Amino acid sequence: MDYSEYDVADFAADDFFIQWVKNPTAAGNQFWIKWLADNPAKQEAIQEARKLVVILSGDEDKIQDWELDEIWQKLSEARAPYTPAETTGAKVIPLRFWQKRATLVAAALGLLLLVAGFILSKLVHNPPVEYATRYGERRTIQLPDSSVVVLNANSSLTVPAEWTSGKPREVHLKGEAYFSVSHKLNNQKFIVYTSDGIQVEVLGTAFNVSDRGNKSEVVLASGKVRLNIARTGENKQVIMLPGELVEVPDKAGTITKREVNTALYTSWKDNKLVFDNTSLREIATMLEDDYGYTVVFRDTTLADKEITAYLDAGSLDDILVTLSETLDMKITRENKKTIMISNY
């Protein structure tokens, strides 16, 4: 994301910035520290935008007293000074505004009224659009730029109500989705943000993003993408080529890149499941993520059994029957929350 042209209002209306202010993470801290180091002239704008986000969120207690004093000072400087007609010699004692916290907050809101009005108007009249899927559901979405997204089960995608020409097209993903991004003549970027601070930046390409559990995965089917990964102690960029997978652990761990059969990771969008020496443990994780069930192995050694198969991803019952017949195992739903796997 190119924040170089952002002002206070732009930062305070940016979803990624707001999320960092309200729920800071190590990855978010690393990103903004690095960005400020590269853009020191934006430090004041960042500070003012942060204060504005906190105040508008109703969390003004998170702002320190000295910060409120600074806000009041800016307010005082912005007001026209009062000059008496003649000097009376009386001593002027300034009101101790810093002792009246509520008054200071109200004053700060007054100073930032125009900016806040702009932001609130944007959020109220053009709220972001959220698409979501339930367990066992998939959904195909056509975005305003003609890009197509297939949203996997138990996932959500948030997109702006309007996309401005010349600015990056930005979406936020939780869960898993397959993107087929349309290329724009002005090379307008398309950026996918995941909840753990990964940015997938593309121009026009097809790729799969999975943001589940304790890791994120990006699989590139065609084109070229750049990953911006902000983590504690590092800010890394990874260039991907078709047929590659990049796996990013959510905490300390090694970022890996390897060549894969992309069909193993993208077939779900066509309601197919492709397994190639895939362990039951991996399949169990998929069932838990996509259908919301807890998978229990009566014999833990069964989790290491592998399967190579091409299945129709119909109903959950159909999947379980096919797995049971292929592996010669008993795989049943015990209730609405548990799948049991055992030998016959």
DSSP string, 49-68: HHHHHHHHTT-GGGS-HHHH
Same fold flag, 129-264 and 271-342:
no
Q: 158 with 137: CB under 8 angstroms?
A: no
What is the model's pTM? 0.64
Residue 294 CA to residue 285 CA, distance in Å, equals: 9
CATH class of 129-264: mainly beta
CA 90 – CA 172 distance, rounded (Å): 60
Q: What whole-number percentage of the chain has pLDDT above 70?
A: 77
Could you tell me if 202 and 221 are in contact, meaning their C-beta atoms sit under 8 angstroms apart?
no
What are the b/e assignments for 320-341, b being 16+ CB within 10 Å? bebbeeebebebeeeeeeebeb
What are the residues facing 60 on neighbouring strands? none
Given a contact cutoff of 8 angstroms between Cβ atoms, the answer to whether 246 and 269 are in contact is no
Choice between 30 and 60, residue whose per-residue pLDDT is larger: 30
Residue 101 has pLDDT above 70, yes or no: no
> Biggest alpha carbon distance in the chain?
101
In the chain, the percentage of residues whose pLDDT exceeds 90 is 36
27 and 211 in contact (C-beta within 8 Å)? no
pLDDT in the model for residue 32: 80
Task: List all residues 6 or more positions away from 164 whose beta carbon is below 8 Å from its beta carbon.
Answer: none
Domain 271-342 has CATH 3.40.190.10: no
Non-local (6+) Cβ contacts of 11 within 8 A are: 3, 17, 45, 46, 49
**SS3 state at 310:** strand
Amino acid at 29: N
- Write down the domain spans for the chain: 8-125, 129-264, 271-342
What are the phi and psi torsion angles at 61 (to 5°)?
-65, -20
Per-residue pLDDT band at 301 (split at 50, 70, 90): very high
In three-state secondary structure terms, 305 is: coil
